[in-house]
Amino acid sequence: MMKREPIAPEQRAEMRLKRLSNQLNLTDAQKKDIQPILLEQEKSRDNMISERKATKEAGKQMTMEEKLAKKDEFMKSQEAYKAKFEKILDANQLKKWEEIEANRKERAQEMMQKRIEKREAKKEGKAQDVKQE
């Protein structure tokens, strides 16, 4: 299976800005204000992924306290992003943006659940292979 070439944070932020612009009918001023927020989010996302990958490659497991601290840090950053968007968007745009975010989170949860089920099925398949030998 070929791995896709990673997209730079700047490119992802630009794609998200275009999508949001179309969905929310953003003004040029709003686009200018939102672009650095999206870029910050994308760079933060890359940092999180790099940290997780480094931890995994080192063969380390995060403790429950570390996981909770990371989750808390993530939630605080999400609240900060939302506060920034609330200052930029009008009431109708904000309502629509919140709906978009809720749908995005729902899809992400569904994808995560599918990955978990796939991983479990794979483990069960390996366990069955071992029993047959």
Number of H helices and E strands in the chain, helices first, is 4, 0
pLDDT at 126: 66
Condensed to tens digits (0 to 9), the pLDDT of residues 55-84 reads 888 888 888 898 899 889 989 999 999 999
Band (pLDDT 50/70/90 cuts) for residue 49 is confident
Condensed to tens digits (0 to 9), the pLDDT of residues 105-123 reads 999 999 999 989 988 888 7
User: Is the CA virtual torsion 86, 30, 16, 11 positive or negative?
Assistant: negative
